[in-house]
Amino acid sequence: MTLPARKEPAASKRLTVKQYLALTTRGVLAEEDRVELLEGVVVAMAPRTARHDAAVNHVFRALLRAVGSRATLRCQSSLVLPPASVPEPDVVMAVGDDHAYDHAHPTDALLVVEVAESSLPQDRLTKAAIYAARGVQDYWIVNLRDDTVEIRRRPDRRGRRYRRVTTARRGDTIDLAAFTDVRIEVDSLLPDR
């Protein structure tokens, strides 16, 4: 006897950005819930460690010193990427000033930075594909496991990948794709060993 093929339930239950944002409005999700929407799936975010939080702080401060008011920096805030993703990157550099986002989340980014330890596979695979598909020109992963910064550039939107991936180590500097006159020391991004 042949059994009928099973339907794929996950594919039919994927959420859109609008549906996901409505979950908070309706009280299904609380603002303090540590989740994000990745390709239509509500995903629990990795727990934060002291080292992770220190790295996020270092990244935010280094970028703020480097770009000042030339762009808006947001820390652990939503980035709305229709149709089906609302990641919460550790740091986002967006166009415009802070008031541009008083009533809406950014929908594009000049730079996205994820600080990764336990989330490293997700940041390298799922999030890199999402950011590349949206054309984010500069995506950095502050890799706490290897004490490096992985830099992804030249997004291939159709292929959902980055064509150029390099690694910067302590002692190196990284230029910003959006502001080529700005250079960031890798040591300023990483917490002490």
- Please name the residue that has the structure tokens 């994820």: 114
Cα torsion through 153, 66, 186, 163, rounded to 10: 0
Instruction: Go through the domains of the chain in sequence order and give each one's CATH number.
Output: 46-188 (3.90.1570.10)
Contact 90, 75 (CB under 8 A): yes
CB atoms < 10 A from the CB of 4, how many? Answer: 5
CB atoms < 10 A from the CB of 170, how many? Answer: 13
Is 52 exposed, middle or buried (CB count within 10 Å of its CB: 0-12, 13-18, 19+)?
A: buried
DSSP assignment letter at 176: -
Q: Can you give the pTM of this predicted structure? A: 0.91
Best CA proximity match to 21, nearest among 113, 90, 83: 83
Is 184 exposed, middle or buried (CB count within 10 Å of its CB: 0-12, 13-18, 19+)?
A: buried
Local mean pLDDT, 10-residue blocks, the chain (193 residues): 52 87 90 93 92 97 96 96 96 92 93 96 97 98 98 98 98 96 97 90
User: Which structure tokens are listed for 159?
Assistant: 């292929």
